[in-house]
Amino acid sequence: MNLANALFDHESIKTTNPKAMELKKVADRLITLAKRKDLHAMRLVFAFLRDKQIVRKLFSDIGDRYSAINGGYTRVVKIGLRKGDSAPMAIIELTQKKEPEKEKDKEKAKAKDAKKAKAAKEKKEPKEKKEKAEKAPAKKKAAKDATEEAKPKRTRKPKAEEKAEEKIEKKVKEKTEEPA
Return the DSSP state at 98: P
- Using CA atoms in the order 125, 130, 131, 132, what is the torsion angle rounded to 10 degrees? 90
Supply the pLDDT for residue 161.
79
pLDDT in tens, 154-166: 566 667 777 788 8
Domain that residue 81 falls in: 2-98
Identify which has the larger pLDDT, 58 or 121.
58
Identify which has the larger pLDDT, 114 or 62.
62
124 plus 40 within the same structural domain: no
32 plus 82 within the same structural domain: yes
22 plus 86 within the same structural domain: yes
Supply the pLDDT for residue 39.
97
Identify which has the larger pLDDT, 64 or 108.
64
pLDDT in tens, 108-145: 666 666 666 666 666 665 555 556 656 666 655 666 66
64 plus 137 within the same structural domain: no
Segment 98-115 shows an average pLDDT of 65
Q: What is the CATH number of the domain that holds 13?
A: 3.90.1030.10
3-state DSSP percent of the chain in helix, strand and coil, to 5: 70, 10, 20
CB neighbourhood size of 19 (10 A): 15
